Structure 1
């Protein structure tokens, strides 16, 4: 069975995207009734989800220092897609916001370097890969989907190539919204135009 892929997004910050990802991931992975295999992907360069779910020391010593966080996956996708380092990008131990540590909850951590790297992504195809940046996350997930029941993607409040990549890779999107004008406006922009532009430009 392949994983259900869910992106959580809104163009307004502070509407609970990261909180929803965290709570849903821990519920699915930790509940004795469900006990699902869950992978969470932190697509936000602010790294809030990464900071919540793993220790900063482990993040730096095992992932960021070794260039195994998500921005480097986008920068050098061949390392992941060729299976050379595809498991190395995934944090598999001690991933949780609560005392219980779930063996079936894994994380692809982010890094502030994503701010810089996402601006350097090629307009066309990756060299010698025949793959556009907008297709990358879908390709990555295809390689992992049989190992998980759910893959949850925490998106930042913006639209760029990495976010479009998440939209194209997802089966579903959760669009959290709070009762204020900016939050509702962010929701309307996604519903009215962003998905259409993503998929039409891809076609």
Structure 2
């Protein structure tokens, strides 16, 4: 009886190459806000045209300025409440200030600035319309608050505050009004630039 020698042939292997080129790329990781990133926002990477970058930089800068305006508004209200010595009003103003800063700040970034961001990124007219609507909200807020502070009959208005020698409250109110005026001018400039691009694409404000 003969025995077969052990085989010296190595087992074969099959190499499978998976082509991932057809798969969509993974979305970039969130990077905003820096303290707790929840969304992706990178003007310099996402846009190649310098004119687009410039408009979006201005929009983002106006978002930061809007936050500063809200802070000035909140401080003015709190100082006015302290000036008149109303403890309940102080508590109300502190709570409302926190809500203002959170809701209006994130609302401006998500509703106005990001609409413009994705408007340029996707070239969808609806995104630009959302941006214009966000601008209208900013103007409405500034207008309503400014009218209240400029009302000469209002005891918490800037005129009455200085007449009654409530200088600290009057100064913070004046700072808010100054911010509001400057911001209104800058927003109007930005709107004109965006609208010029909007019309150059053949878009119309009314979708009908």
TM range (shorter): under 0.3
More strand by share: 1
Q: TM-score, normalised by structure 1?
A: 0.26
More helix by share: 2
Larger-gyration structure (1/2): 2
Q: Which has the higher contact order (CA 8 A, sep 6+)?
A: 1
Q: TM-score, normalised by structure 2?
A: 0.26
